Amino acid sequence: MKTTLSLLFLFLSSLVQGLTYPKCDSHDHGSTLQVFHVFSPCSPFRPPKPLSWEESVLQMQAKDITRVQFLVSLVAGRSIVPIASGRQIIQSPTYIVRAKIGNPPQTLLMAMDTSNDAAWVPCSGCDGCSSALFAPEKSTTFKSVGCAAAECKQVPNPSCGVSACNFNFTYGSSSIAANLAQDTVTLATDPVPSYTFGCVAKTTGSSNPPQGLLGLGRGPLSLLSQTQNLYKSTFSYCLPSFKSLNFSGSLRLGPVAQPLRIKFTPLLKNPRRPSLYYVNLVAIRVGRKIVDIPPAALAFNPTTGAGTIFDSGTVYTRLAAPAYVAVRDEFRRRVGGKANLTVTTLGGFDTCYTVPIVAPTITLIFSGMNVTLPQDNLLIHSTAGSTTCLAMAGAPDNVNSVLNVIANMQQQNHRVLYDVPNSRLGVARELCT
Ligand SMILES: *[C@@H]1O[C@H](CO)[C@@H](O)[C@H](O)[C@H]1NC(C)=O
Ligand SMILES: *[C@@H]1O[C@H](CO)[C@@H](O)[C@H](O)[C@H]1NC(C)=O
Ligand SMILES: *[C@@H]1O[C@H](CO)[C@@H](O)[C@H](O)[C@H]1NC(C)=O
């Protein structure tokens, strides 16, 4: 009897654990990968000591400023020196997926980045890399890519090493030198043979994702370009909220099993920045009112790179200053109303309240698709519940560009479908678990 009971107890507690703990090493299946927040218990990159709510908000804001500067520098085609921050901040994008590289496979947790094309991983012997490294010498399928290969012409600043193609580039505040290589990359259960990626040999700065980066952009050398036949340039993701770190989301590759009931807006292409996913944001509604935004703050302009992009690596949506001010002022008017509530700030957020509020919804109006953001995608609350902020901001002060970035806090618990062959992007609500 006693054993039966304790067995039952064991069974029940493992059931309960199964429900509460994320299943970190449950296998990715088919063409679907689990997506974890970097602060998730499944992430080796979570801070050693949990950050306070304020610390994590401020840290994510600081990281975002570098990220937005980086995106703007991509658009402007020139580098912008990121503001140095006092503390070492891990600036790598917010969500990670598991990839297996080589034969026998070595597992790496790579950052997902929709605004970058290439993939790169830190390789053994890397100078300046932290964390786990990929060991090419242990893989029987690893090959260096030679200088004469076509791929060597697609990388930034190529140079010829000992017959192998070397290149270097900047990412956020990091500069990275890598060797071009090929190996089998396995995503969920799909092996992609001879996948071309950068093997990082040297890095400086703190933006380099510790276990590498998986670029989901659509330019040359991207995952999409290299898996045309397999995934047909189609993928979707559901990003879990960072309030429920025990949840994981999913990255679904290929046209199979994508949602059918989803609203679409056309994807626009900027020839200067072929990897970024531009859409046409035409207006913004706060509650029922369409706010007054000068058209130039939203307009797509392929020559200057102005417009609106979806990005998986920025945390809080950034709008060009005139657009943000219009949204914020209407939001404050609706919240404050007759009560005349005091507005406070928290780091880069300028619309915070220290009393409970009733907030209006905000609707992003794209060509052909309206996305109404529920409160969870708009507001952040301190753990103690005493502070609530509108989780959006204007473009950083020193960034002189009209780039609106729809960021991951605003995408959480939605499925975002990138359908490149049909030139459209879809959004539908979904609770990622
Ligand atoms: C995640 O799960 C752990 C273990 O069950 C639990 O201690 C923790 O409170 C959970 N965190 C959240 C945010 O639910
Ligand atoms: C980047 O490549 C260029 C050209 O090959 C080289 O001169 C430069 O030293 C490299 N920079 C780094 C940081 O490796
Ligand atoms: C989006 O909202 C606007 C303004 O409320 C409305 O005029 C338009 O018909 C809506 N579009 C779609 C596709 O629902």
- Candidates 219, 222, 209, 233; CA nearest to 422 is 233
Nearest atom in ligand 2 to 177's CA: 14
Active site residues: 113, 311
Look up residue 278 and give its two tokens: 């531009």
Tell me: do 80 and 180 sit in the same domain.
Answer: yes
Tell me: do 275 and 195 sit in the same domain.
Answer: no
Tell me: do 277 and 344 sit in the same domain.
Answer: yes
In a domain, 399, yes or no: yes
**In contact, 91 and 66? CB cutoff 8 Å:** yes
CB atoms within 10 A of CB 9: 10
Tell me: do 299 and 213 sit in the same domain.
Answer: no
From the CA of 291, the nearest ligand is: 3
In a domain, 386, yes or no: yes
- The residue whose C-alpha atom lies closest to atom 8 belonging to ligand 3 is 370
In a domain, 161, yes or no: yes
pLDDT of residue 399: 61
Tell me: do 51 and 184 sit in the same domain.
Answer: yes
CB atoms within 10 A of CB 56: 16
CA angle 290, 296, 301 (to 5 degrees): 125
Question: Which 3 state secondary structure label does DSSP give 27?
Answer: coil
From the CA of 201, the nearest ligand is: 2
Which residue from 246, 248, 376, 433 has its CB within 8 A of the most atoms of ligand 1, so it is best to mutate? 246
Q: How far is CA 191 from CA 101, 185, 187, 188, 363, in A?
A: 9, 6, 6, 8, 40
DSSP 144-199: EPBTTSGGGGTSSS-EE-SSBEEEEEEETTEEEEEEEEEEEEEETTEEEEEEEEEE
177 C-alpha vs ligand 2 centroid, how far in Å?
A: 7
**Gyration radius from the chain CA atoms:** 22
pLDDT of the chain along its 433 residues, tens only?
444 444 444 444 333 334 445 567 766 778 999 998 888 888 888 877 877 777 888 888 888 888 888 888 777 665 444 443 333 444 556 899 999 999 999 999 999 999 988 899 999 999 999 877 999 999 999 999 999 999 999 888 889 877 789 999 888 778 899 999 999 999 999 999 999 999 999 998 877 888 899 999 998 889 999 999 999 999 999 999 877 777 889 999 999 989 989 999 999 998 888 889 999 999 999 999 999 999 999 999 988 889 999 999 899 999 999 999 999 999 999 998 767 788 999 988 999 999 989 999 999 999 999 999 999 999 998 877 689 999 999 987 666 678 999 999 999 999 999 999 999 999 999 998 7
In a domain, 142, yes or no: yes
Among the candidates 227, 253, 279, a domain finishes at 253
pLDDT of residue 76: 67
Look up residue 189 and give its two tokens: 């259960």
Tell me: do 275 and 221 sit in the same domain.
Answer: no
Tell me: do 42 and 119 sit in the same domain.
Answer: yes
In a domain, 413, yes or no: yes
Phi, psi of 144 (to 5 degrees): -85, 150
Nearest atom in ligand 1 to 17's CA: 5
- The residue whose C-alpha atom lies closest to atom 4 belonging to ligand 1 is 21
244 C-alpha vs ligand 1 centroid, how far in Å?
A: 8
Tell me: do 102 and 173 sit in the same domain.
Answer: yes
Q: How would you classify residue 405: left for phi > 0, otherwise alpha for psi between -120 and 50, otherwise beta? A: beta
- The residue whose C-alpha atom lies closest to atom 3 belonging to ligand 2 is 157
Find the residues whose C-beta lies inside 6 A of ligand 2: 157, 159, 168, 175, 177
20 pocket-lining for ligand 1 (C-beta < 6 Å): yes
**In contact, 199 and 223? CB cutoff 8 Å:** no
Tell me: do 221 and 335 sit in the same domain.
Answer: no
- Candidates 302, 289, 292, 284; CA nearest to 392 is 284
DSSP 29: B
Distance CA 313, CA 93 (A): 4
pLDDT of residue 77: 62
Tell me: do 121 and 146 sit in the same domain.
Answer: yes
In a domain, 2, yes or no: no
Distance CA 374, CA 68 (A): 24
Question: Which 3 state secondary structure label does DSSP give 386?
Answer: coil
Q: Which domain holds residue 285?
A: 263-429
- The residue whose C-alpha atom lies closest to atom 1 belonging to ligand 2 is 168
In a domain, 258, yes or no: no
Which residue from 370, 424, 425, 427 has its CB within 8 A of the most atoms of ligand 3, so it is best to mutate? 370
In a domain, 391, yes or no: yes
Question: Which 3 state secondary structure label does DSSP give 396?
Answer: coil
Distance CA 302, CA 316 (A): 24
Find the residues whose C-beta lies inside 6 A of ligand 3: 285, 365, 368-370
Number of domains present in the structure of the chain? 2
Beta pairing partners, 187: 99, 190
Among the candidates 253, 279, 305, a domain finishes at 253
Helix (H) or strand (E) holding 366: strand 362-366
Nearest atom in ligand 1 to 20's CA: 5
- Candidates 201, 189, 176, 34; CA nearest to 110 is 34
Tell me: do 273 and 248 sit in the same domain.
Answer: no
Distance CA 108, CA 427 (A): 29
361 C-alpha vs ligand 2 centroid, how far in Å?
A: 49
The CATH number given to whatever domain includes residue 231 is 2.40.70.10
Among the candidates 253, 271, 297, a domain finishes at 253
Tell me: do 197 and 336 sit in the same domain.
Answer: no
E strands in 269-321: 277-279, 281-286, 289-290, 307-310, 317-319
Distance CA 70, CA 154 (A): 20
Nearest atom in ligand 3 to 370's CA: 1
Q: What is the residue whose two structure tokens read 């040297």? A: 202
Distance CA 415, CA 388 (A): 26
- The residue whose C-alpha atom lies closest to atom 11 belonging to ligand 1 is 246
- The verdict on pTM exceeding 0.85 is yes
Nearest atom in ligand 1 to 245's CA: 13
Distance CA 354, CA 335 (A): 12
